[in-house]
Copies of this chain bind each other. A is one copy, B any other.
Amino acid sequence: MFEARLVLEAVKELITEANFEVSGGGITLQAMDSSHVSLVALSLRSDGFEHFRADRSFSMGMNLNNMAKMLKCAANDDVITMKAEENSDVVTFLFESAGQGRVSEFELKLMDITSENLGIPDTEYSATVSMPSTEFQRITKDLGSIGDTVEISVTKDGVKFSTNGDIGSANVICRQNLNVEKQEEQTVIDMHEPVSLTFALRYLTSFTKATALSPSVVIKLSKELPVVVEYKVADFGYVRYYLAPKIEDEEMEEQ
Protein backbone atom coordinates (compact mmCIF):
# COMPACT_ATOMS: atom_id res chain seq x y z
CA MET A 1 0.00 0.00 0.00
CA PHE A 2 2.50 2.45 1.23
CA GLU A 3 4.80 1.59 -1.68
CA ALA A 4 1.98 1.97 -4.18
CA ARG A 5 1.60 5.57 -3.14
CA LEU A 6 5.34 6.22 -3.18
CA VAL A 7 5.62 4.84 -6.70
CA LEU A 8 2.84 7.12 -7.88
CA GLU A 9 4.38 10.15 -6.22
CA ALA A 10 7.62 9.22 -7.97
CA VAL A 11 6.19 9.34 -11.48
CA LYS A 12 3.12 11.53 -11.56
CA GLU A 13 5.03 14.78 -11.76
CA LEU A 14 6.55 13.68 -15.07
CA ILE A 15 3.69 11.73 -16.60
CA THR A 16 0.03 12.50 -16.05
CA GLU A 17 -1.34 9.43 -17.81
CA ALA A 18 0.09 6.08 -18.80
CA ASN A 19 -0.70 2.50 -19.73
CA PHE A 20 -0.05 -0.09 -17.05
CA GLU A 21 0.93 -3.33 -18.78
CA VAL A 22 -0.27 -6.27 -16.74
CA SER A 23 0.81 -9.86 -17.31
CA GLY A 24 1.50 -12.97 -15.30
CA GLY A 25 4.97 -11.65 -14.62
CA GLY A 26 3.78 -8.47 -12.96
CA ILE A 27 3.10 -4.87 -13.88
CA THR A 28 5.20 -2.57 -16.03
CA LEU A 29 4.76 0.94 -17.29
CA GLN A 30 6.76 3.02 -19.69
CA ALA A 31 6.09 6.58 -20.74
CA MET A 32 7.75 9.72 -21.99
CA ASP A 33 7.12 12.82 -19.94
CA SER A 34 4.71 15.33 -21.44
CA SER A 35 7.51 17.35 -23.03
CA HIS A 36 8.90 14.17 -24.60
CA VAL A 37 12.33 14.73 -23.11
CA SER A 38 12.67 12.12 -20.39
CA LEU A 39 11.34 8.60 -20.05
CA VAL A 40 10.01 6.75 -17.02
CA ALA A 41 10.01 2.96 -16.75
CA LEU A 42 8.38 1.14 -13.86
CA SER A 43 8.55 -2.57 -13.21
CA LEU A 44 6.91 -4.51 -10.38
CA ARG A 45 7.30 -8.27 -10.44
CA SER A 46 4.28 -10.37 -9.53
CA ASP A 47 6.10 -12.13 -6.70
CA GLY A 48 6.34 -8.85 -4.82
CA PHE A 49 2.55 -8.76 -4.38
CA GLU A 50 0.86 -10.65 -1.58
CA HIS A 51 -1.57 -12.10 -4.12
CA PHE A 52 -1.25 -11.64 -7.84
CA ARG A 53 -3.31 -13.14 -10.61
CA ALA A 54 -3.49 -12.12 -14.25
CA ASP A 55 -5.37 -14.52 -16.52
CA ARG A 56 -4.13 -12.76 -19.63
CA SER A 57 -1.92 -9.86 -20.56
CA PHE A 58 -3.60 -6.52 -21.04
CA SER A 59 -3.00 -2.84 -20.59
CA MET A 60 -4.86 -0.29 -18.52
CA GLY A 61 -4.67 3.38 -19.35
CA MET A 62 -4.96 5.52 -16.25
CA ASN A 63 -4.69 9.12 -15.29
CA LEU A 64 -2.03 8.96 -12.59
CA ASN A 65 -3.25 11.99 -10.68
CA ASN A 66 -6.70 10.47 -10.42
CA MET A 67 -5.22 7.14 -9.41
CA ALA A 68 -3.17 8.92 -6.74
CA LYS A 69 -6.30 10.68 -5.53
CA MET A 70 -8.01 7.34 -4.99
CA LEU A 71 -5.05 5.68 -3.33
CA LYS A 72 -4.95 8.57 -0.89
CA CYS A 73 -8.34 7.36 0.29
CA ALA A 74 -6.76 4.21 1.72
CA ALA A 75 -5.49 4.20 5.28
CA ASN A 76 -1.84 3.42 5.78
CA ASP A 77 -2.40 -0.13 7.00
CA ASP A 78 -5.25 -1.03 4.68
CA VAL A 79 -4.92 -4.06 2.46
CA ILE A 80 -5.27 -2.90 -1.13
CA THR A 81 -6.59 -5.02 -3.93
CA MET A 82 -6.65 -3.86 -7.54
CA LYS A 83 -9.19 -5.63 -9.75
CA ALA A 84 -9.83 -5.33 -13.45
CA GLU A 85 -12.58 -7.30 -15.21
CA GLU A 86 -12.10 -8.32 -18.82
CA ASN A 87 -13.21 -5.58 -21.23
CA SER A 88 -14.25 -3.32 -18.41
CA ASP A 89 -13.69 0.39 -18.69
CA VAL A 90 -12.95 0.77 -15.01
CA VAL A 91 -10.43 -0.59 -12.54
CA THR A 92 -11.50 -1.25 -8.96
CA PHE A 93 -9.42 -0.50 -5.88
CA LEU A 94 -10.49 -2.35 -2.76
CA PHE A 95 -9.29 -1.05 0.60
CA GLU A 96 -9.83 -3.31 3.60
CA SER A 97 -9.00 -2.15 7.10
CA ALA A 98 -6.74 -4.38 9.16
CA GLY A 99 -9.67 -5.95 11.01
CA GLN A 100 -11.80 -5.92 7.83
CA GLY A 101 -14.32 -3.79 9.69
CA ARG A 102 -14.27 -1.35 6.79
CA VAL A 103 -14.26 -2.22 3.11
CA SER A 104 -13.98 0.60 0.58
CA GLU A 105 -14.38 0.18 -3.14
CA PHE A 106 -13.13 2.87 -5.52
CA GLU A 107 -13.68 2.63 -9.25
CA LEU A 108 -11.37 4.57 -11.52
CA LYS A 109 -12.34 5.11 -15.16
CA LEU A 110 -9.79 3.77 -17.61
CA MET A 111 -8.69 5.73 -20.65
CA ASP A 112 -7.47 4.89 -24.13
CA ILE A 113 -3.91 6.05 -24.33
CA THR A 114 -1.84 5.62 -27.46
CA SER A 115 1.49 4.60 -26.09
CA GLU A 116 4.66 4.32 -28.08
CA ASN A 117 6.52 1.52 -26.39
CA LEU A 118 10.19 2.16 -26.89
CA GLY A 119 12.63 -0.68 -26.68
CA ILE A 120 15.41 0.25 -24.33
CA PRO A 121 18.58 -1.63 -25.20
CA ASP A 122 20.33 -3.16 -22.22
CA THR A 123 23.69 -1.49 -22.60
CA GLU A 124 26.94 -1.82 -20.70
CA TYR A 125 27.55 1.59 -19.22
CA SER A 126 30.91 3.37 -18.99
CA ALA A 127 30.26 4.29 -15.39
CA THR A 128 27.80 3.26 -12.71
CA VAL A 129 27.50 5.28 -9.53
CA SER A 130 25.54 4.15 -6.52
CA MET A 131 25.02 6.74 -3.80
CA PRO A 132 22.55 7.65 -1.03
CA SER A 133 19.38 8.84 -2.71
CA THR A 134 19.01 11.73 -0.28
CA GLU A 135 22.49 12.95 -1.17
CA PHE A 136 21.67 12.89 -4.88
CA GLN A 137 18.43 14.73 -4.16
CA ARG A 138 20.27 17.35 -2.16
CA ILE A 139 22.84 17.87 -4.91
CA THR A 140 20.31 18.33 -7.70
CA LYS A 141 18.32 20.72 -5.53
CA ASP A 142 21.37 22.75 -4.50
CA LEU A 143 22.85 22.98 -7.99
CA GLY A 144 19.41 23.81 -9.34
CA SER A 145 19.46 26.98 -7.25
CA ILE A 146 22.61 28.08 -9.09
CA GLY A 147 22.25 26.86 -12.68
CA ASP A 148 20.02 25.09 -15.20
CA THR A 149 22.28 22.26 -16.29
CA VAL A 150 24.68 19.96 -14.50
CA GLU A 151 27.79 18.31 -15.83
CA ILE A 152 28.27 14.89 -14.26
CA SER A 153 31.84 13.63 -14.54
CA VAL A 154 32.97 10.27 -13.28
CA THR A 155 36.58 9.38 -12.70
CA LYS A 156 37.89 6.35 -10.88
CA ASP A 157 37.85 7.99 -7.47
CA GLY A 158 34.72 10.02 -7.56
CA VAL A 159 31.81 11.69 -9.26
CA LYS A 160 31.67 15.43 -9.79
CA PHE A 161 28.51 17.47 -10.33
CA SER A 162 29.12 21.00 -11.67
CA THR A 163 26.94 23.87 -12.76
CA ASN A 164 27.15 27.56 -13.34
CA GLY A 165 24.66 30.36 -13.55
CA ASP A 166 24.25 34.12 -13.26
CA ILE A 167 25.23 34.40 -9.61
CA GLY A 168 28.26 32.12 -9.80
CA SER A 169 29.17 28.49 -10.15
CA ALA A 170 29.31 25.37 -8.05
CA ASN A 171 30.61 21.85 -8.01
CA VAL A 172 30.16 18.95 -5.64
CA ILE A 173 32.57 16.05 -5.56
CA CYS A 174 31.54 12.74 -4.01
CA ARG A 175 34.33 10.29 -3.43
CA GLN A 176 33.90 6.55 -3.40
CA ASN A 177 33.08 5.71 0.19
CA LEU A 178 32.82 2.11 1.30
CA ASN A 179 33.50 2.92 4.95
CA VAL A 180 29.86 2.98 5.90
CA GLU A 181 28.20 0.05 7.51
CA LYS A 182 24.96 0.04 5.60
CA GLN A 183 25.49 -0.76 1.95
CA GLU A 184 22.77 1.65 0.89
CA GLU A 185 24.67 4.57 2.43
CA GLN A 186 27.83 3.79 0.52
CA THR A 187 29.00 5.68 -2.52
CA VAL A 188 30.27 3.16 -5.01
CA ILE A 189 31.90 4.09 -8.31
CA ASP A 190 32.10 1.36 -10.93
CA MET A 191 33.93 2.90 -13.86
CA HIS A 192 35.16 1.28 -17.05
CA GLU A 193 36.12 4.54 -18.67
CA PRO A 194 35.82 8.17 -17.56
CA VAL A 195 32.68 9.89 -18.72
CA SER A 196 31.38 13.44 -18.56
CA LEU A 197 27.88 14.42 -19.62
CA THR A 198 25.63 17.43 -19.22
CA PHE A 199 21.95 17.27 -18.30
CA ALA A 200 19.04 19.59 -17.63
CA LEU A 201 18.76 19.87 -13.85
CA ARG A 202 15.02 20.33 -14.02
CA TYR A 203 14.45 16.71 -15.02
CA LEU A 204 16.98 15.26 -12.60
CA THR A 205 15.20 17.15 -9.83
CA SER A 206 11.91 15.59 -10.90
CA PHE A 207 13.54 12.16 -10.82
CA THR A 208 14.41 12.66 -7.17
CA LYS A 209 10.70 12.53 -6.36
CA ALA A 210 11.47 8.81 -6.07
CA THR A 211 13.88 9.35 -3.18
CA ALA A 212 11.46 7.97 -0.61
CA LEU A 213 11.35 4.65 -2.50
CA SER A 214 14.90 3.65 -1.78
CA PRO A 215 17.83 4.74 0.40
CA SER A 216 20.16 4.52 -2.58
CA VAL A 217 20.07 5.56 -6.21
CA VAL A 218 22.04 4.11 -9.12
CA ILE A 219 23.19 6.41 -11.92
CA LYS A 220 24.46 4.87 -15.16
CA LEU A 221 26.35 6.91 -17.70
CA SER A 222 27.78 6.35 -21.15
CA LYS A 223 28.94 8.88 -23.73
CA GLU A 224 26.08 10.19 -25.88
CA LEU A 225 23.57 7.89 -24.21
CA PRO A 226 20.71 8.84 -21.94
CA VAL A 227 21.60 8.65 -18.28
CA VAL A 228 19.69 6.05 -16.27
CA VAL A 229 18.62 7.01 -12.77
CA GLU A 230 17.30 3.97 -10.95
CA TYR A 231 15.49 3.54 -7.65
CA LYS A 232 14.69 0.06 -6.39
CA VAL A 233 11.15 -0.64 -5.19
CA ALA A 234 11.69 -2.94 -2.21
CA ASP A 235 13.26 -5.99 -3.83
CA PHE A 236 10.68 -6.73 -6.45
CA GLY A 237 10.91 -3.82 -8.83
CA TYR A 238 12.33 -0.50 -9.86
CA VAL A 239 11.57 2.95 -11.19
CA ARG A 240 14.04 4.02 -13.87
CA TYR A 241 14.34 7.43 -15.44
CA TYR A 242 16.13 8.13 -18.72
CA LEU A 243 17.35 11.52 -19.84
CA ALA A 244 19.39 12.33 -22.94
CA PRO A 245 22.51 14.41 -22.39
CA LYS A 246 22.84 17.89 -23.82
CA ILE A 247 25.16 18.02 -26.80
CA GLU A 248 27.50 20.98 -27.19
CA ASP A 249 25.42 22.60 -29.96
CA GLU A 250 22.33 22.56 -27.82
CA GLU A 251 24.15 24.21 -24.96
CA MET A 252 25.26 26.98 -27.29
CA GLU A 253 21.77 27.57 -28.63
CA GLU A 254 20.39 28.10 -25.19
CA GLN A 255 22.73 30.98 -24.53
Chain A interface residues toward B at CB < 8 A: 63, 66, 69-70, 72-73, 75, 90, 99-109, 135, 138, 142, 145-146, 167-175, 177, 179, 187
Contacts and interface: CB of A to CB of B under 8 A. Distances in A.
B73 A170 contact: yes
Given A69-B145, A69-B146, A70-B168, A102 B179 contact: no
B168 A102 contact: no
Contacts of A100: 175
How many copies altogether?
A: 2
Contact of A107 (B75, B168, B179): B168
B179 A105 contact: no
Nearest to A106: B170
Given A69-B146, A142-B73, A102 B167 contact: no
B101 A63 contact: no
A179 B70 CA distance: 29
Contact of A168 (B109, B145, B172): B109
For A100, A109, A168, A179, which residue has the most chain B Cβ atoms within 10 angstroms?
A168
A172 B99 contact: no
A175 B187 CA distance: 51
Contacts of A106: 146, 168-170
Contacts of A90: 168
A99 B177 contact: yes
A99 B179 contact: yes
Given A70-B146, A102-B173, A145-B72, A63 B109 contact: no
A69 B167 contact: yes
